[in-house]
Structures are given as C-alpha cells and as structure tokens.
C-alpha cells in the first residue's frame, strides 16, 4: 500500500471527525478514505478507529499513531520544501574529478563564474589523469576525455576535443617532417600513458583512409603538459588535445604535422553514477559546463591553429 496516502487519510479523518469531512478535505470519496484506513490498519496490524453508527473515535493505538503520523507528514512537507529550494539554489559539497591539464587550462577559468552563480555550493576538486572509482572515492561528477565513455556509467557529452599531432621546429629541422603516419615509426615520440590505444596510433583522413602505426616512445607520462614541455624542447612528436598545445602552435613553439591525418575528435564527457538520482548540485555543474564549453569555437574544443 501507499503508506503516505494512508497516513494522510488517517490524519484527515482524525482531525475532521468523519469520513465525509475527511473526504471533502482530501478531495476524494468517502469510500476511498474508508479503503485507505482499512489498508493502513491491515498494514499496521492494529485497529486505529472505533466505528459506530453515531460517532467515530480513535483507539489507544490510533491516538499514539496520530501523533507520529502528523510529525512524519510535517517532516515530509519540510523535506520537499528544502529539496525544492536546493534545486533552485543548490547547497552542500560537490566533489569533482577532472584531468590535470584540463583542470588547470580550462576548468580553472570557468569556476569563478560558476561560484558567482552558486555561492552556496562548496567544491572539492581532484585533478588527476587517473580514472577514479566514483562510488569508492565519493565523486559526484568526473570529467573525462575519451573516444567513448565507460558503458558502466551515465555520461553526458559536453564538447568535442580535437587531438593534434605536433613537434617543435628544431626537432623537425633535425629529423625531417613526417608525411605519412607510417613515418612516425622512425621518429622520437612522446606517449601519453593513459591513451586507450597505447602506443598504436591510428590515424584517419577526412576521406576515410586509415593508417595504424606502432610507435616506440622513449618517454611515457601520465600528464599531457609534461609531454608538451618536452616536445617544445625538441624531444619528439606528441599527440595531445588542442587545448594543451594551441598556445604553443600559435606562438610557433610547436608545429602541427600530418595535417591531413588525425587521431580523430575525442569527446569531453561528464560521467556520474545514476541519471535517476542525479543531485541538483551535480546537475547545475554539468549544465554549466555544457553552456560554457559546448560552443563550437570555445578554445577547449577548437582545433589547434596551424
């Protein structure tokens, strides 16, 4: 049975004094109130109401239950009001996990406006390129850059993230420009440890041609900015998200190579455990990221300038 509806019917009956008055108060029929009271008594295993042809009175169990039921219903109304206020103005602690370079380069610039909009939210942000366990680590929202999100999680795509292949002018002057992905097998390459394909880089053209090359990297790292710095100093060829290398390409410190070939466009995703029970604080954060980063030419999703 619906225990809440049963309690509402019982409280209405006890305060109104009759089934007719209780039905009027609840906007239903006397038969419906009678059924709900009977179901509630069956559920509780106790008679709550003495019924006679002349008057209605509460049993001892009914009098005791009335006080508790009134308090429960009052608490429910208050809880609904609190949740309603939180949906409009979320409060509490929001735990976010995001990749290190993305957090520093992009997310950090977005947080001041988010804090202005939702000043009652407290943020706990973990910047790490490792894939966190949302349930174990108590994370509300994780930001991930991937070709496809984990099928075990709920994901919302925020923006495209172009992946760029580049190297420094000094490196290219010394080792030559690769003209085909297969040339990379003879080049120094710097690899991101968490790249899903490992050291096999699969390139595609706009026409649909594909080429997979197995690179032999002397450096693996779990952070794209470290690899970017090595590449700027002439360490080799890297493949990195556009937001990491865009400024260096614009300044001439890095040069895009294989411009007709691409590892594709990855997606920036917000992932969380449950769509059904997504909290208001997590929802407004995700909506804000979509608003701020979903624009076609935001620096986070714009291709690096050649």
Q: What confidence tens digit (pLDDT) does each residue in 160-184 have? A: 998 999 999 999 999 999 999 999 9
Residue-wise pLDDT for 42-84, tens only, equals: 888 889 888 776 678 888 888 888 888 888 887 777 666 556 5
* pLDDT of amino acid 297: 44
Report pLDDT for 53.
63
The pLDDT of 9-16, averaged and rounded, is 87
Q: What tens digit of pLDDT does each residue of 254-285 get?
A: 999 999 998 877 899 999 987 656 788 999 99
Q: Distance between CA 224 and CA 77 in Å, rounded?
A: 50
Closest by Cα among 220, 234, 233 to 175:
234
DSSP reduced 3-state for 186: helix
Alpha-helical segments (H) within the chain: 3-16, 19-26, 30-44, 60-88, 100-102, 108-117, 134-137, 169-175, 224-232, 242-251, 280-293
Predicted pLDDT of residue 286: 93
Residue 296: pLDDT above 50? no
Whether residue 303 has pLDDT greater than 60 = no
Judge residue 40's burial from the number of C-beta atoms within 10 Å of its C-beta, 0-12 exposed, 13-18 middle, 19 or more buried: buried
Q: How many CA atoms lie within 13 A of 257 on its CB side?
A: 28
**pLDDT for residue 305 is more than 60:** no
**pLDDT 10s digits, 200-234:** 999 999 888 999 999 989 899 999 999 999 999 99
- Average model confidence (pLDDT) across the chain: 87
Counting every residue written for the chain, the total comes to: 306
Q: What's the CA angle centered on 273, arms 119 and 140, to 5 degrees?
A: 25
E strand or H helix that includes residue 271: strand 265-272
Percent of the chain with pLDDT over 70: 90
What is the dihedral angle through the alpha carbons of 192, 194, 149, 254, rounded to the nearest 10 degrees?
-10
How far is it, in rounded angstroms, from Cα 212 to Cα 135? 36
Does the predicted model carry a pTM greater than 0.85? no
Count CB-CB contacts under 10 A for residue 116: 8
pLDDT grade, residue 192 (50/70/90)? very high
CA dihedral of 239, 241, 242, 245, whole degrees rounded to 10? -60
């Amino acid at each position: 049975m619906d225990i809440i509806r049963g309690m509402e019917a019982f409280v209405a009956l006890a305060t109104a004094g009759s089934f007719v008055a209780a039905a009027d108060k609840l906007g239903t029929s006397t038969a419906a109130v009678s059924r709900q009271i009977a179901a509630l008594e069956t559920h509780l295993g106790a008679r709550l109401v003495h019924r006679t042809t002349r008057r209605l009175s509460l049993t001892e169990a009914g009098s005791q239950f009335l006080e508790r039921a009134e308090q429960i219903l009052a608490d429910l109304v208050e809880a609904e009001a609190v949740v309603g206020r939180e949906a409009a103005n979320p409060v509490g602690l929001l735990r976010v996990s995001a990749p290190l370079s993305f957090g520093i380069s992009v997310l950090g610039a977005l947080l001041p406006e988010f804090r202005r909009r939702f000043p009652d939210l407290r943020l706990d942000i973990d910047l790490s390129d490792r894939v966190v366990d949302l349930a174990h680590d108590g994370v509300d929202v994780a930001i991930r850059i991937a070709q496809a999100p984990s099928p075990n999680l709920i994901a919302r795509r925020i923006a495209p993230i172009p992946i760029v292949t580049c190297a420094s002018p000094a490196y290219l002057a010394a080792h030559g420009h690769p003209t085909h992905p297969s040339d990379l097998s003879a080049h120094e390459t710097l690899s991101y440890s968490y790249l899903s394909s490992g050291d096999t880089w699969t390139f595609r053209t706009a026409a649909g041609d594909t080429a997979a090359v197995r690179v032999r990297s002397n450096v693996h790292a779990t952070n794209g900015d470290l690899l970017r710095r090595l590449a700027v100093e002439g360490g080799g060829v890297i493949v990195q998200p556009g937001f990491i290398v865009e400024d260096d390409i614009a300044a001439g410190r890095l040069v895009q190579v294989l411009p007709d070939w691409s590892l594709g466009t990855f997606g920036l995703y917000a992932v969380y455990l449950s769509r059904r029970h997504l909290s208001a604080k997590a929802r407004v954060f995700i909506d804000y990221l979509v608003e701020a980063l979903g624009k076609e030419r935001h620096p986070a999703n714009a291709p690096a300038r050649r």
